[in-house]
Copies of this chain bind each other. A is one copy, B any other.
């Protein structure tokens, strides 16, 4: 790609949108400039552009994103057949298991939820489509990383912030690589309270008809309700069934 095939004004604008998050729902020009590292004048023009187009509100002091911005993310969800295909299977799976079931894809060092059928809330955080979790300590993340060539998995780990969310969290890269090998062999990943205390989950890869991983499926359950050791026995057959059914549908 040539230098002039890149629209830096566009790239800068996208950076500005991503500057908003749960801790910063409203941003002044100076704040947004600090977060993005972009010049104040540049940030100001981007924010005024967003506001002019209805993607942001401006009260003269702070900018806040409007629901119109959801169109951008939704463009992916509705344009990608995967979430739509998976959803009914997930509903059925969640119903039979009596627990939440989700599907995700890998994006960099994180997994992104693309579909979810939730039962009673078990996690402290609110997971919905578009939510992200670090791959290294989530069951679906393990499945994704296990599906990659080892050097790619290592590369992703090296970019990850491997922190211990609980006393059970595996953070040593070599331990994790060994775990990926185990996941690859047994065909599923089991997480016992590594992400959050009291939460267990089990995941399997979802492959298309050419054997390529296209998503990960999981079931999460409160540790108080189902011991990690029982997860395999109780939920793996259901996951395997769903996996097999979807394999036929996907291409």
Contacts and interface: CB of A to CB of B under 8 A. Distances in A.
Interface in A65-95: 65-81, 83-84, 87-88, 91, 95
A7 interface: yes
A74 B73 contact: yes
Copies of this chain in the oligomer: 2
A117 to B, nearest CB: 7
Name the prevailing secondary structure of the A interface residues.
helix
B13 A75 contact: no
Residue from A8, A44, A129 having most chain B Cβ neighbours under 10 A: A129
A230 B118 CA distance: 27
A71 B73 contact: yes
Interface string A88-107: 10010001000000000101
Interface stretch (A20-28, A153-161, A237-245): A20-28
A25 B85 CA distance: 14
Given A10-B10, A72-B73, 19 more contacts: A1-B52, A5-B49, A6-B45, A6-B49, A7-B9, A7-B12, A9-B9, A9-B10, A11-B52, A18-B72, A54-B108, A64-B79, A65-B75, A66-B107, A69-B75, A77-B130, A83-B126, A91-B121, A128-B128
